[in-house]
Homo-oligomer: A and B are copies of this chain.
């Protein structure tokens, strides 16, 4: 008799499902669709000549080590480089504070594995990164969303929530934030709020997962100090990634945290996948050794800034009154808000059908079912020509759908209040 798998699934598996956003991408991948949906880095930015040459060298000259199993914690030289990098940025680190992961997504998973019992409370940003939600949901965490506005996570709302929980005898174990050029909103957590968040973490005794895949793709205004840098109590688990600043296909990210926690996470990782891929780690280490990485990051920032500027200028020119957006100072994403009565998903289906243009409707980034009139636009992958054409077409659709005429160049940054 064929086996009935449904009956064997663990409790935690009942909520596991493919993210709607990823499912939806299949729609956007038809060749005649201009897509602002995906959040992938542009393949134009992959330094292919460098990579081909480096791999050749690694395999032929350092072959055994780069192709063999490696330490669970990761390549020692790469850990040393990352410790130096983080120390230079002000977060004093030694190689023992660093653990290499399969992209920062695995970092989130391992944090969940080591810290979260079913029902443990985790603060997330709303709207926020769906992959973070997914990782913590897999460990049956109780997710508590806190709103994000133009200055990032609203720490005053968080404080109220924490206070109210304490009055009920309840606590929070972890807060998760993408402080720089957040996915999906593009906003950056202000310095004041960074300090406030750390203060709250101390007062209410929780840990912070600081996920920073976009921070180095900073277009203007300079980078704010990381939470890890400001942390004097060892509460912050920093998650870094080479997916946006180098290439994603090798899955190399890292965790920077207190040594005891890194050791615990390493024990968890050992039973999870033994080690991350060594060839990718050696490739990244080679890239950093050549000191070309900073130059490369500056080039990428210039490249993505040009695309952001183009998309924003086209939005100003073509989007009718009533449509607002954020202007990110870095990263990949612009957050668009339509008039309150507009359902962004319905609008998206029309955009796909009538104009062959795609974005991501914003509802999926909210836990509580709100955000129906919002959308995430990514400028990272589309070509300049696609950005010009796609935004103009959407402008036409929006004018048809909810009237108004383009305001021709007026700056309409989304309200920073909430």
Please list the residues of chain A having a beta carbon within 8 angstroms of any beta carbon in chain B. 1-3, 5-6, 8-13, 16-19, 22, 40-41, 43, 46, 48-49, 51-52, 55-56, 59-60, 63-64, 66-70, 72, 101-103, 105-106, 108-109, 113-117, 120, 131, 134-135, 137-139, 173, 202, 205, 207, 233-235, 243, 247-251, 258, 260-261, 263-264, 266-268, 270-280
Q: List 18 A-B contacts (CB under 8 A).
A: A1-B233, A3-B207, A5-B258, A10-B116, A10-B117, A10-B139, A12-B113, A19-B270, A43-B63, A52-B56, A69-B243, A69-B248, A103-B273, A103-B274, A105-B273, A135-B271, A249-B279, A250-B279
Given contacts A105-B274, A137-B271, A272-B109, contact A202 B1 (CB under 8 A): yes
* A264-B9 in contact (CB<8A): yes
CB-defined contacts of A66 to chain B, threshold 8 Å: 249
* A251-B275 in contact (CB<8A): yes
Complex Cα gap A34–B275 (Å):
24
* B251-A276 in contact (CB<8A): yes
Given contacts A9-B114, A106-B272, A250-B278, 20 further A-B contacts (CB under 8 A): A1-B202, A2-B234, A3-B235, A5-B264, A6-B260, A12-B113, A13-B115, A13-B268, A16-B268, A17-B267, A43-B64, A51-B67, A67-B248, A67-B249, A68-B248, A113-B138, A135-B271, A138-B271, A251-B277, A280-B280
Given contacts A233-B3, A234-B3, contact A8 B207 (CB under 8 A): yes
List 9 A-B pairs, minimum CB-CB distance, nearest first: A134-B271, A43-B64, A249-B278, A67-B249, A16-B267, A106-B273, A102-B273, A52-B59, A67-B247
Given contacts A12-B113, A272-B105, contact A55 B48 (CB under 8 A): no
Given contacts A3-B234, A5-B258, A202-B1, contact A16 B271 (CB under 8 A): yes
* A8-B68 in contact (CB<8A): no
CB-defined contacts of A266 to chain B, threshold 8 Å: 18
Contact of A10 among B6, B103, B113 (CB under 8 A): B113
Q: Of A109, A131, A207, which is in contact with the most chain B CB atoms at under 10 Å from its CB?
A: A109
* A40-B69 in contact (CB<8A): yes
Q: Which label, helix, strand, loop or mixed, suits the secondary structure of the A interface?
A: helix
Contact of A16 among B59, B202, B264 (CB under 8 A): B264
CB-defined contacts of A250 to chain B, threshold 8 Å: 67, 277-279
CB-defined contacts of A51 to chain B, threshold 8 Å: 59, 63, 67
Given contacts A134-B271, A233-B3, A279-B250, contact A46 B63 (CB under 8 A): yes
